[in-house]
Structure 1
């Protein structure tokens, strides 16, 4: 049974509207990174104030990822049924409450719990912003727009650690979370001018509780598994990097929080560069080919990092250089893996975006959790986790994605997902 032509659903977007929409979607997608990156330089100070060790502070990232991963499974189907704007607004309210709770936490356990609440709210913005891109664009154009979004939103993590370091110079780490409260309030106000991209006639009337069944059908598609595995394992390595570098750089190599912000910013510059290259090349080279290029280079960089960390070669530069190469591969991996998965079943962009994001960040939980579990005061656990996940990402891209007749690969699972009134 053929699928409805997704191009029939695309809406013409004026240049002015496109610019505003791009700016707001960038802000919404930035919540995933700014919520963590802003307080990274404060990690050692938080450990002292909360009487916690480095592993417990690293678990605040895992707690965030748990909320972020599971929350997406809820927001995606809600967005498919009720539209995009209302669920985003509700999520921003939760984000504000969670950020305030983090600012007032007195123990590491309380911080981990409030970080989970914060994440459940933040993920509504991210998962539905991706779905809004798919509402408006298709094919390589969607990959181009998502790459552009990621380039623009990279300003947030680029500035995040540096701004967090500046806040620490004039206030305590708690002021960082109050800053996030203000950012949430500002974005909530900005949401008023964001157009609704999912009109009523395109919404899915099915009850939200059927989403779990739909997720199981989506996971029967081998290409979907390939795209999710490629992006997911890479995310596991990225969050191992996020959880491990504050202690690897600040505690082990004795750089200042401000210098850490600069080193972290180098990786964001690499992400911005490769996202721009991806946006320019994807129409000619194809998203799958560029995704394979990214995963291959990331795996090689991860192996280089592991060798340097375990042999203690190169000092600080022995970590910074391969980590820069690993992180820079984001521009070729993330946008292409997301667009590839969304393209399999465009009729359920919200649910697919939720599934992709949930499983990607789920491996992020695993990556950051493994770094925390094996923390020994050296960069070795971080490097080992990044190497394992980098290789797994490359294997998924190589062995699961390159299938012929991708539309037919959906098979019966895809047919079951299409509402009968559209069939």
Structure 2
């Protein structure tokens, strides 16, 4: 507590505007991915490429977001949060402009990787800076607010992209992203103070590999990270397969499909609000069994509905139970994980982010094994992920248990 209080005095606490600035940093992932999805067919036609190559620009950004977190997290532990953040945001703007002027699919893919790497800067530092400045219930509420912002961005991104696509081409979409990046860079330049004092930065002789090994040996860190990653794997598996399942097997139109996806984003917003309210008064562990239990119930119901072919309304309700349970759980699990290692909060935040992407990427293709004509493969993936999250929760060390091999 003394160490955190010293940091607060050094950086001036959160202040009135900083929560807004930190919230803006969390949108880089969803906004960079979602806003240009409606323009993918136009991009394919303009560059005269196959749909698979056009979709590779999405994969390139996701790969960049994952790699960028591994790069930026440790760097921010050594050089502070502010300098890497401003550099990363500047690179993001340049990369977005390069995307808009790409003359080939190869140039666009490379620019998208760079854009993803740079965009990861904001995502990692928003998490790490919150850990630098806050602890206890305030930290849980902060991560719950991040979940609300991310859910809102996931809801607004495709809708905004669809509206922009009505009067500009895909190149204009990337210029809009450059404008958003510039606005956030200016906000950080004026409203983001350094949150990691010099005396808490990692010395030069401490290697990135040493920090990662230390995190990997710490059971009190690894187990809540697995909870986060596995629950996100369930949700990403749903999102990746929903288009084929809902439109192919259940006959929804693209507009109706977008409403179902929007409903899932709303559950993240509402779940984040509930998690923040409860986290302000209770231990971060209190919501984990509730959220994981709700997600398991939803996944089990999805399997039963898929086998019995009960109907679309029941299927949507069951899936929303999974997304709601995830939204309730992730803020508290993030608090437990990052509170464990304040000395390397940047590296820890990077591992949390990469685990989300890695387990999500592993779950996504498994959902398509049934050809998108049945909910059973989706249900099996979600059930395995949620049961895995239960196992990880049960393995989280309780107070007094040995947790670290470091």
TM-score range, shorter chain: 0.7 to 0.9
Deviation at 1:313, TM superposition (A): 3.5
Task: Kindly indicate whether the alpha-carbon contact (under 8 Å) linking 2:297 and 2:321 is maintained by their aligned counterparts in 1.
Answer: no
**What is the 5 A alignment of 1:8-407?**
8-12=5-9, 18-42=15-39, 51-53=49-51, 60-103=57-100, 113-193=110-190, 194-207=192-205, 210-250=207-247, 253=250, 255-309=252-306, 311-315=308-312, 317-371=313-367, 374=369, 376-378=371-373, 380=375, 381-398=377-394, 400-405=395-400
- Deviations along 1:174-216, one digit per CA (max 9) or x if unpaired, are 44333222211221122111111112232222257x1112111
Deviation at 1:128, TM superposition (A): 0.8
Consecutive unaligned residues of structure 1, counting only runs of 5 or more, are 414-423
Inter-partner Cα distance in structure 2 for 1:196 and 1:20:
14
Task: Kindly indicate whether the alpha-carbon contact (under 8 Å) linking 1:62 and 1:365 is maintained by their aligned counterparts in 2.
Answer: no
**Alignment CA distance shift 1:238-1:349 (3 Å):** same
Inter-partner Cα distance in structure 1 for 2:159 and 2:151:
13
Give the TM-score of the pair, scaled to structure 1: 0.84
Deviation at 1:295, TM superposition (A): 1.6
Inter-partner Cα distance in structure 2 for 1:149 and 1:202:
25
Task: Kindly indicate whether the alpha-carbon contact (under 8 Å) linking 1:43 and 1:246 is maintained by their aligned counterparts in 2.
Answer: no
Task: Kindly indicate whether the alpha-carbon contact (under 8 Å) linking 2:101 and 2:171 is maintained by their aligned counterparts in 1.
Answer: yes
Task: Kindly indicate whether the alpha-carbon contact (under 8 Å) linking 2:219 and 2:397 is maintained by their aligned counterparts in 1.
Answer: no
Deviation at 1:383, TM superposition (A): 4.3
Inter-partner Cα distance in structure 1 for 2:22 and 2:261:
23
Cα-Cα RMSD: 3.1
Task: Kindly indicate whether the alpha-carbon contact (under 8 Å) linking 2:294 and 2:324 is maintained by their aligned counterparts in 1.
Answer: no
Inter-partner Cα distance in structure 1 for 2:194 and 2:329:
28
- Deviations along 1:66-113, one digit per CA (max 9) or x if unpaired, are 322222111111111111121112222333344345545677776555
**Alignment CA distance shift 1:217-1:312 (3 Å):** same
Deviation at 1:28, TM superposition (A): 0.1
**Alignment CA distance shift 1:339-1:376 (3 Å):** same
Task: Kindly indicate whether the alpha-carbon contact (under 8 Å) linking 1:367 and 1:385 is maintained by their aligned counterparts in 2.
Answer: yes
Give the TM-score of the pair, scaled to structure 2: 0.87
**How many correspondences in the alignment?**
403
Task: Kindly indicate whether the alpha-carbon contact (under 8 Å) linking 1:41 and 1:260 is maintained by their aligned counterparts in 2.
Answer: no
* Stretch deviating more after TM superposition (86-95 or 190-199): 86-95
- Deviations along 1:344-379, one digit per CA (max 9) or x if unpaired, are 12121112111222222221222234446x472436
* Stretch deviating more after TM superposition (55-64 or 166-175): 55-64
Inter-partner Cα distance in structure 2 for 1:305 and 1:100:
43
**Alignment CA distance shift 1:253-1:18 (3 Å):** farther
Inter-partner Cα distance in structure 2 for 1:308 and 1:174:
43
Q: Which residue of 2 aligns with 1:409?
A: 403
